[in-house]
Amino acid sequence: MSIDGFDYKGFAQNLAQQALELIPPDFDDNQKNYVANTLLNFSTVAGEALFNEGQFNLDQAVMITQIIAEWSFHKSVDLVRSGIPQNYWDPIMQKIAFTIFEIAKSAFGQNLPQDQCLQLIEHHVKKTYLDCIAELKDKNLIDDELMEQASHQSNIDAMVQQQAEQEQMQEQAMPEQFEDAAQGMPQNMPQQSQLPQENPIATPKVLKLATLAMLFNKMKQEKVQTILNKFNPDDAQSVIRFMEAPDLDSKVDQKSALRCLQEIRTTLPAMQQDVSPAKILTKIQNVSQYFDKSQLEQALRLERLKVRKFVFTALEGEYYEMAPKVANIIATHLADSV
């Protein structure tokens, strides 16, 4: 019995299209085509098999197909970087894809928790990859140096590290963005507020929100939205209203605005440093108040395997080992999606 609604061909094509944007830019055309075609072929074959078997529901079939696509992508990239001759790539990838398919079917068929399924699959993928490389060495098809080089390839870990570095660069640049915006603020603002004293803009909190509104008007809107997503909803709405207000610059005292700006810049780094495991676990567990497990699985189905494993392990109250900055990115993204 087939799986209703499972367009495995379209799904595989979509995954392959997404993968094209993630292929390392230093790969030549042959290497890029190999990675993309390997992902497409294995995910299509797996999807077709699942569709015809009818053993799993739609969500499970989608998950298994995506897992095969993701690991096909990462391990084919690893093989390209390994230095192993290309004529050995296909046999290795076939063994890896077959392993994923069988382990995933067994794990999901037993209704194991998703994080446990992902851990089993990751373990067997890595083991199969290393076993294939060792077999090449045993047959004297590669030497010790090449075996060592190939064994230490891990594109998925490299992508996580790259994401962490990018986030760190963004954090370091944030105070500079505030400073650049401040330099663009009008210098001819009146020394005293032109509004009556009872106007709410004269209160400390609202003055700070108004200052942020002036500052945000000088920044790129996508960066503004990212910052506002972290605000209390009421405060975010207040900032947006100030941003839309006409002649806001003329209604705020310059000295007060610059003092507020300095306070914001001073407190910003301290806000970014709170990435302790306990804080991150709490942030993720709070999300479970709004999503049940099936909804979370659906929301995370396009994420990397380690990301899904991290989230579902956190929901059990345990911290899956991951760089704090990367973990905080995941937790923040998940919280923002609520």
Q: What is the pLDDT along the chain (338 residues), one digit of tens a residue?
A: 578 788 889 999 988 888 888 888 899 999 999 999 999 999 999 999 999 887 888 888 888 999 999 999 999 999 999 999 999 999 999 999 999 999 998 888 888 888 788 888 988 998 999 999 999 999 999 998 999 898 888 877 777 666 666 655 555 554 455 455 444 444 443 333 333 333 444 466 777 788 888 878 777 676 777 777 767 777 788 888 888 887 777 777 766 777 776 666 554 444 444 567 777 888 878 877 777 777 777 677 656 677 778 888 888 888 877 777 677 777 777 766 65
Instruction: Spell 54-91 as b/e; 16+ CB within 10 A means b.
Output: eebeeebbbbbbbbbbbbbbbbbbbbbbbebeeebbee
H helix or E strand, kind and range, residue 160: helix 155-183
Residues 6+ apart with CB under 8 A from 131: none
**pLDDT value of position 257:** 72
How many other C-beta atoms are found inside a 10 Å radius of the C-beta of residue 196?
8
**pLDDT value of position 188:** 42
pTM of this prediction?
0.54
